[in-house]
Structure 1
Amino acid sequence: MAAAALLTGCGDDDAADGPVTLKVLTWEPGGAEYWKQVKTSFEGSHPDIKLEMQSVPFDKYPEVQGPYITSQSGPDVMANNAGLELFDRRGAYVPLGDKAAEITKDLVTYSGACEGFDTSKTCYGVPFSYQGNVLYYNKAVLTAAGLNPEQPPATWDEFGAACEAVKKAGKTCLALGLSGTFPAYWDFPEIARNYLTEDDIRALLAGKLSWKDPKLVSVLGKLAEITTKGWANKNAPSITMLPDGADIFQRGDAAFAGTIISDAVNWEAFGKALGDDKLGVTRWPAIDPAAPLAGKFSGIEGAVYGVTQWSEKKQAGLEFISWLAGKENGELWVKYGKGQPLNRTVDKALLPSSPAFLKIQELVAQPTLHAGVMLSGPEADALARGWQQVTLGQLTVDKWADQMQQALERSPTKKQGK
Structure 2
Amino acid sequence: MWKIKKIKKMIALLLAGVLLLTGCGGGAAKYGPVNKNGQQGVSKDGKLHLTFYFPVQVGGETAKLIENICNDFSKEHEDIVVDPIYTGNYDDTVTKIQTAIQGGTPPDVFVSLATQRFTMASTGMAMPLDELIEEDGEEGQAYINDFLDGFMEDSYVDGKIYSIPFQRSTMIVFYNKEMFQEAGLDPEQPPQTWDEMIDYAVKLTNKDHYGVGIALNSGSAQWGFTALALQNSENGENLATEDGFHVLFDTPGNVEALQMILDLQQKYKCMQPGIVQWTDLPTQFLAGQVGMIWHTTGNLANIKENADFEFGTAFLPAGKRQAAVTGGGNFYISNGLSKERQKAAWEFIKFATDTKRAAQWSLDTGYVPTRQSCYDTDMIKEYYKDFPQAKVAYEQIAISGCELTTYGVSEIWRVLNDHIQAAVTKDMTPEEALKEAQIQAEEILEEYE
TM range (shorter): 0.7 to 0.9
Confirm whether residue 164 of structure 1 aligns to residue 202 of structure 2: yes
Query: 2:342 pairs with 314, 318, 327, which one?
Result: 314
Q: Match for 1:173 among 211, 217, 224?
A: 211
Deviates more, 1:391-400 or 1:62-71: 62-71
Q: Structure 1 residues 296 and 178, CA, compared in 2 at 3 Å: closer, same or farther?
A: closer
The alignment status of 1:254 with 2:290, answered yes or no, reads yes
With structure 2 as the length reference, what TM-score do the two structures score? 0.77
Task: Give 5+ residue unaligned stretches, structure 2.
Answer: 1-18, 29-33, 135-139
Alignment of 1:396-411 (within 5 A): 396-411=429-444
Q: 1:150 aligns with which of 168, 179, 188?
A: 188
- 2:9 corresponds to: none
Assess if the C-alpha contact under 8 Å between 2:213 and 2:292 holds in 1.
yes
Equivalent of 1:339, from 350, 367, 373? 367
Q: Give 3-state SS (helix, strand or coil) of 1:220's partner.
A: helix
Match of 1:106 among 146, 164, 187: 146
What's the counterpart of residue 65 of structure 1? 97
**CA displacement at 1:202 relative to structure 2:** 6.1
The answer on 1:369 being equivalent to 2:369 is no
Q: Deviations over 1:228-262 (max 9, x none)?
A: 3333223x51x6312x2221111121111111123
> Residues 328 and 151 from structure 1, CA distance in 2 versus in 1: closer, same or farther, beyond 3 angstroms?
closer
1:183 aligns with 221
Structure 2 distance, partners of 1:133, 1:218, is 20
1:318-333 correspondence to structure 2 within 5 Å: 318-333=346-361
CA distance in structure 2 between the partners assigned to 1:410 and 1:210 by the alignment: 13
- Given that 1:27 and 1:57 are in contact with CA atoms closer than 8 Å, whether structure 2 keeps it comes out as yes
Aligned length in residues: 392
State the SS of the aligned residue for 1:341: coil
CA distance in 2: counterparts of 1:393 and 1:403, whole angstroms? 15
* Cα distance in 2, alignment partners of residues 225 and 306 from structure 1: 40
In the aligned structure 1, how far is the partner of 2:101 from the partner of 2:223?
A: 23
Q: Distance in 2 between matches of 1:388 and 1:154?
A: 27
Distance apart, 1:24 and its partner CA = 0.9
- Choose between structure 1 and 2 for higher RCO, CA contacts under 8 A separated by at least 6 residues: 1
Change in Cα spacing, 1:106 to 1:210, as seen in structure 2 (3 Å) is closer
- CA apart distance, 1:52: 1.4
Do the aligned partners of residues 224 and 407 (structure 1) sit closer, same or farther apart at CA in structure 2, a change above 3 Å counting? farther
Counterpart of 1:15 in structure 2 is: 39
Q: 1:133 aligns with which of 171, 191, 213?
A: 171
Cα distance in 1 for partners of 2:250, 2:396 equals 31
Shift of the 338–162 alpha-carbon distance from structure 1 to 2, 3 Å rule, reads closer
CA distance in 1, matches of 2:62, 2:238: 35
**Aligned partners of 2:432 and 2:104: how far apart in 1?**
38
The structure number with the bigger radius of gyration is 2
Q: Which runs of 5+ in 1 are unaligned?
A: 289-293
Partner of 1:25: 53
Shift of 1:331: 3.5
Aligned: 1:96 with 2:129: yes
Cα deviation for residue 44 of structure 1 reads 1.3
Q: Which amino acid aligns with 1:295?
A: Q
Q: Secondary structure at the match of 1:104?
A: helix
Check whether the contact 2:241–2:248 (CA below 8 A) recurs between aligned residues.
no
For the Cα contact (< 8 Å) 2:214–2:224, is it kept in 1?
no
- Say what the alpha-carbon RMSD is for the aligned residues: 3.0
Cα displacement (A) at 1:93: 0.6
Q: Which string of whole-angstrom CA distances, capped at 9 and with x for unpartnered residues, describes residues 357-381 of structure 1?
A: 13334333x3342243458222211
Instruction: Give the drift of 1:123.
Output: 1.6
Distance 2:157 2:284 in 1: 37
Identity rate of aligned residues, in percent? 16
Q: Does 1:360 align with 2:384?
A: no
| 1:184-223 correspondence runs (5 A) | 184-198=222-236, 203=241, 206-208=244-246, 210-223=248-261
- 2:277 alignment partner AA: T
Q: Distance between the aligned counterparts of 2:226 and 2:433, measured in 1?
A: 14
Shift of 1:66: 3.6
Deviation at 1:221, TM superposition (A): 2.8
Deviates more, 1:347-356 or 1:375-384: 375-384
How many Å separate the matches in 1 of 2:366 and 2:317? 25
1:304 has 2:330 as partner? yes
Distance change >3 Å, CA 193–CA 370, structure 1 → 2: farther
